[in-house]
Amino acid sequence: MLAGKKILIGITGSIAAYKIPFLIRFLKKQGAEVQILMTDFATEFVTPLTLSTLSEKPVLTDFFDKGDGSWTSHVDLGLWADLFLVAPLSANTMAKMASGIADNLLLTTILSARCPIYFAPAMDLDMYKHPSTQNNIATLKSFGYKLIEPVEGELASGLHGFGRLEEPELIFEVLKKALLGKKPFEGKKALITAGPTQEPIDPVRYIGNRSSGKMGVEIALALAEMGADVDLILGPSAIKVTHPKIDVVHIETADDMHQACMQRFPDSDITVMAAAVADYTSTQVSKQKIKKDTELSTISLKPTVDILATMGTQKTEQQVLVGFALETDNEVENARKKLEKKNTDLLVLNSLRDEGAGFGVDTNKVSLLYANGKQIEIPLQSKQEVAVTIGKSIEAILNPVDS
């Protein structure tokens, strides 16, 4: 089943390294090619001889072969692999991966790899729970690396808790799925907007809103994970996005967002407008800072272009268009009107009345309104979960099942 698939396995210093020979056997039995990379410390836990015998390839730990003076190219290794698994991943190597340190062959190869990277941590429960480890896991996930979570159980220290490396049979299943499964949005282009816009009044002040960009960024990540090539048009936001399948375009004003979107919309299969776009902008932007003693009692405004509504007039049958609505009263009625007026296939309704929903929080409570009249209430979920739900709804719109 895995004939022709090339897998790099990076082993770091953890007692759980004893599970990797089993994983190699499973992969080899299915016809995969396996190349083992080890840190020096890992060689204390499982012998390179065992691993090279099972993988039928010399185990690599060093850049240089001390015998004949040749060297191993981390770039070639990184380009060779269809998938790179780091397992077991120690807290130390994890921290180095999160900060881009490249002081051994394994770490350097990670930086060169273009294939999907999976990581399976194994460590004592307190090390796993430590904020630095949790921050590093979040950083690795933000690079698009996939976490194979450790499980709960008895640990080498004698303590009981989370930190045990997942069993090799289950790691094998994850890898098999990753290597064989086609992602639902592969070959599709997605255009996502996120964050607020800022409409300048003078070089110092602007009219803005409270959007953090979290919801839209999570949608961009979810669609990228489902295989789409994503253009993320992001208003001023503190969130950093570094996913290999996401191109981030930073913009400031509603007009910048309009231009960035309209350039890309004709080629986009899926468009999700999660940004909180200013409806009005200042008619005049002062070149100098407006001084306090200037008699300024009003700011004159003009409407911005409704980007979503413009897209709604241009959308083809093949394109899926998703809008957001933030309402405080007559929520469903207003949202349904918005869906019809802006010609969207799906409208995600947030009500600021719901606790845990709205700006700056990690959760959201939304209703999904479909163009065919269907409506689904989603219970309070993390914004990440809501994003996955939206991704699945888009998938269902693209591939309707006849009932």
Is residue 135 annotated as part of the catalytic site, yes or no?
A: no
Taking only Cα atoms into account, the Rg of the chain, rounded to an integer number of angstroms, comes to 25
**Interaction between residue 304 and ligand CTP (CB under 6 A):** yes
Residues ≥6 apart with Cβ < 8 Å to 279: 303, 304, 306
| Shortest distance in whole angstroms from residue 322 CB to ligand CTP | 8
Report the C-alpha gap between 158 and 267 in whole angstroms.
57
Q: Using CB under 6 A, which residues numbered 32 to 91 contact ligand CTP?
A: none
Phi, psi (deg, nearest 5) at residue 206: -150, 165
Report the b/e string of 221-251 with b at 16+ CB within 10 A: bbbbbbbbbbbbbbbbbeeebebebbebbeb
| Shortest distance in whole angstroms from residue 330 CB to ligand CTP | 11
Site string for ligand CTP, 230-269 (x = CB under 6 A): ------------------------x---------------
Q: Tell me whether residue 221 or residue 326 sits nearer to ligand CTP (CB atom).
A: 326
Q: Tell me whether residue 27 or residue 325 sits nearer to ligand CTP (CB atom).
A: 325
Residue by residue, DSSP assigns 87-101 as EEEPHHHHHHHHHT-
Q: Binder to ligand CTP among 44, 279, 340, 362 (CB under 6 A)?
A: 279
Q: Binder to ligand CTP among 9, 171, 219, 307 (CB under 6 A)?
A: 307
Q: Binder to ligand CTP among 308, 321, 369, 387 (CB under 6 A)?
A: 308
Report the C-alpha gap between 155 and 166 in whole angstroms.
12
How many other β-carbons are positioned within 10 Å of the β-carbon of residue 348? Answer: 26
Q: Using CB under 6 A, which residues numbered 160 to 199 contact ligand CTP?
A: 193
Do 207 and 282 meet the contact criterion of CB atoms below 8 Å apart? Answer: yes
**Interaction between residue 155 and ligand CTP (CB under 6 A):** no
| Shortest distance in whole angstroms from residue 317 CB to ligand CTP | 21
Catalytic residue chosen out of the listed positions 209, 330, 350, 364: 209
In 266-320, which residue ranges form alpha helices assigned H by DSSP?
Answer: 307-314
Q: Tell me whether residue 5 or residue 338 sits nearer to ligand CTP (CB atom).
A: 338
Catalytically annotated residues: 209
